[in-house]
Amino acid sequence: MKAGFLLVAASILLLLLPPKSVIAKNASIGIYAIVDHVTFEPDTGTPNSVRISGIFVVPVPMSSGNYRSPQRGYLYFRIAPGAEQATQRDWSELNDLAGSGKVVGFGQYWVPNPDDPQGNPHHSLEVTVHAAGDLATPDVYPLPRLQGVTEVKVSDKDSDPHSNKIVAQLRETGHR
């Protein structure tokens, strides 16, 4: 009973805090999101780009586990050569979850460093959240995670409290 009260009190406290960037201890998820809508291009046949609209928490460029505050807008991606199947699987899963209000995680946080000839993954994912109405060219879709798109839930047992904070921030931004 006491543990349940503490969890509720901690959740309320997190919601009252102003949204700031957060550090995730085990940064493996590249993008946290509440997906509102997914638009495939072209809209018939096999898509080669996607526009994902919603609220996003994305990595701070060139950081070590840092994420930006939640941002409403859209992500615009194209498929990386050689990653067609995994990318289309992710896009299908994102489309299935669109409009559900669930917090999801997708893409890998650590990506190959473009300035390193061996491609050592010492570089955080760089993603631009575009404002509605802004024109953009598609970025390359991030490396898909082995687990694919995953629902991220707040848990009181064995969970990363930093991920819990990101989930709380996304939900709070969604209620504004």
Q: What is the DSSP letter of 52?
A: E
Higher pLDDT, 88 or 6: 88
Give the residues across from 131 on adjacent strands: none
The confidence score (pLDDT) of residue 159 equals 53
Summarize pLDDT for 4-60 with one digit per residue, the tens.
443 334 333 333 333 333 444 456 899 999 999 999 999 888 899 999 999 999 999
Structure token pair of residue 149: 């798109």
Residue 38's DSSP bridge partners are 52
pLDDT at 58: 95
Whether pTM exceeds 0.85 = no
DSSP code per residue over 85-146: HHHHHHHHHHHHHTTS--EEEEEESEE--TTSTT--S-EE----PBPTT---PPEEPPPPPT
Average pLDDT, the chain: 81
> Which helix (H) or strand (E) segment is 69 a member of?
none
pLDDT band at residue 87 using 50, 70 and 90 as cut-offs: very high
